[in-house]
Amino acid sequence: MAKHRAAEPGVREEEDVGQYIRQLRRRQKMNLMTLSERTGLSISTLSKIENNQIELTYAKLMLISDGLGVNLSELIFTGDRRPVPERHSGRRSITPREGRKGATTSNYEYGYLNTDLAKKSMVPVVARVKQSELSAFGPLAVHPGEELIYVLSGAVIVHTEDYEPTVLRAGDSMYFDASMPHAVLNQDADEEAEIIFINTPNIQSLAPPSSGDE
């Protein structure tokens, strides 16, 4: 008899992510108003996300995963992933360059790393920056946790609400509070920079919220 083999994790289609968010919300007996209060996103925006009528950015995903009390990887990826061990067991994950799980928005082309691990304490992502004008970026990103940006190639300008725009070149890094509105743009409109960014979720998101309205 053939031995059952765990499904390889893959990236959900965007319309599937919206449906899965609705499924998780309803499973917790949570209405849109409660999720809106937990995420800071409007009821209208959440409804459009669940119905695949609006672009689902990384920042929105972070807010929603935090509001639902689930790990970000659960929203993005399908298939079985290795859970957090009950005790130290040398858990590790290797992602070859060709093994990155991709996703694209108007601002970034993402390559998610180490997607075979569930409930990670960090969310590591390699991204190609697509915008060079703040007006084209849209609203500044805001999401729970802290963030590290490390520039792999090219140069970027990091805009934040509390500081003057900062130029980072290959080898430079920045660590900041991700709840501070921010955006990363190419310094040179003719060269798309590549960065790695690592996010830590809100520590409260590691424990699921109670079901129903609060």
214 in any annotated domain? no
Domain termination site, one of 80, 109, 138: 80
**206 domain-assigned:** no
Q: Are residues 115 and 187 in the same domain?
A: yes
Considering the domain architecture, whether residues 49 and 130 belong to the same structural domain is answered as no
Same domain, 19 and 45: yes
Residue type, 77: F
At 208 the pLDDT is 37
> What is the rounded CA–CA span in Å between residue 40 and residue 45?
10
29 phi and psi, to 5 degrees?
55, 45
Pair 101, 182 in one domain: yes
| Mean of all residue pLDDT scores within the chain | 82
Among residues 193, 151, 200, the alpha carbon closest in space to that of 174 is found at: 151
109 and 26 in a single domain? The answer is no
pLDDT at 188: 95
* Whether pLDDT at 5 is above 60: no
Burial 16-32 (b: 16+ CB within 10 A, else e): ebbebbbebbeebebeb
Is 57 within the bounds of a domain? yes
Looking at the structure, do residues 119 and 193 belong to the same domain, yes or no?
yes
Q: At 50, which CATH number?
A: 1.10.260.40
Q: How many domains does the chain have?
A: 2
Strand partners, 75: none
The bridge status of strand 182-186 relative to strand 173-177 is unpaired
Strand partners, 156: 168, 186
pLDDT tens profile 147-175: 999 999 999 999 999 999 999 999 999 99
Query: Is 24 in the same domain as 109?
Result: no
Measured distance CA(115)–CA(7) in Å, rounded? 12
* Same-domain status, 193 and 101: yes
Q: Which domain holds residue 125?
A: 97-200
CA distance 150 to 156: 10
Q: What percent of the chain has pLDDT over 70?
A: 80
Domain annotation covers residue 158: yes
pLDDT attached to residue 7? 47
Nearest to 131 by CA among 171, 160, 158, 169: 158
| Residue 114, domain CATH | 2.60.120.10
> Chain-centre distance of CA 39, in angstroms?
14
pLDDT tens, 33-69? 999 999 989 999 999 999 988 888 888 888 898 888 8
Give the domain-ending residue among 53, 80, 107.
80
Tell which wins on pLDDT, 8 or 97.
Answer: 97
Could you give the angle at which helices 43-50 and 58-68 cross, rounded to 10 degrees? 100
Whether residues 106 and 194 share a domain: the answer is yes
Give a yes or no: residue 4 inside a domain.
Answer: no
- Indicate whether 67 and 110 sit together in one domain: no
Q: 67 with 148, same domain?
A: no
